[in-house]
Amino acid sequence: MEHIDRTVVIRFDTRSSRICEFCRDLDPQFRLRRPLDQMVASTRKAVASAHMTEDGYVRHRMLELRQISSRESVTAA
Ligand SMILES: [Zn+2]
């Protein structure tokens, strides 16, 4: 059930989406993501919920959480 029709993905992709700059800046693995996992809807800010894919959303959330926990450990110290 994981199969996605490639032509649908490409049509879905280009005009209405852009690279998520938050993920691009913070994720060392960013270039290894599938192209669609790098994209957010162009009308939205670079937030997790703007991601086009579940995987993109989850990775974005993980970066946010990591950022929050590193901030907390700085203030705690
Ligand atoms: Zn993102």
pTM metric for this prediction: 0.72
Q: Tell me the residue type at 49.
A: S
For the segment 19-36, what is each residue's pLDDT rounded down to a tens digit? 999 999 999 999 999 999
Distance from the CA of 43 to the center of ligand 1, in angstroms?
14
More confident position, 12 or 34: 34
58 CA to middle of ligand 1, Å? Answer: 9
Q: Which residues pair with residue 40 across a beta bridge?
A: 18, 51
Report CA(77)–ligand 1 centroid distance (Å): 29
Q: Higher model confidence: residue 23 or residue 73?
A: 23
CA separation for the pair 16, 42 (Å, rounded): 5
Distance 36 CA to ligand 1 centre (A): 11
The H or E element that residue 70 is part of is helix 54-76
- The CA 21 to ligand 1 mean position distance, Å, reads 7
